[in-house]
Amino acid sequence: MSSGVKVDGAIPILFNSMKFKNTPKVAFFRISDDGKSIIVDEDRQIMPCEKDPYGAFIKMLPSDDCRYIVFDVAYGTKESGDKTQLLFIAWAPEDAPIKCKMVHASSKDYIKKELGLENEWDLHDMADAMNIREMGAKLKGALCVEGRELGCQ
């Protein structure tokens, strides 16, 4: 926790809901306005009933601010069929202020550790985010992700 930013108490509660109840499908977190804590971004949550959660995720990425995201990814494998896995995503767009990116980077390992997540996908622009094959590469043996075929790998 080199940045001194703390994880708000609502985050583990929401995360446990994702793990055990599969809701929400995608949760966004941000640094609070005072810069002292990581909080739930209430305006950016995707529920399981969303028909295209990956498309909704892309649309919710702010162009000029950083976010941490946990995505309950549905994917298919040849060996064991359909699976889900919680994927940690660090969104730090090039147009975000330098200070924002610095605090975001220095707090990333802390929130990952607090949530007990290992798989990580770092994104810096929309081209990164729209590359679903990269997301699939983070998921062992994925042939399709969120209903999208990954094609030859």
Coil vs helix vs strand at 3:
coil
Report pLDDT for 127: 96
Whether 23 has a pLDDT exceeding 90, the answer reads yes
Helices and strands, number each (H, E), in the chain: 5, 8
Architecture of domain 6-71+86-132: 3-Layer(aba) Sandwich (3.40)
Alpha-carbon span 112 to 11, nearest angstrom:
12
Domain residue extents for the chain: 6-71+86-132
- pTM of the entire predicted model: 0.93
Tens digits of per-residue pLDDT, 4-17? 899 999 999 999 99
Residue 3 clears pLDDT 80, i.e. is over it: no
Residue 6 CB partners (closer than 8 Å, separation 6+): 36, 37, 38
Tens of pLDDT, residues 35-53: 999 999 999 999 999 999 9
Please say if the pLDDT value at position 2 is more than 90. Answer: no
Give the Cα separation of 30 and 80 in Å (integer): 35
User: For 75-104, what is each residue's pLDDT tens digit?
Assistant: 999 988 899 999 999 999 999 999 999 999
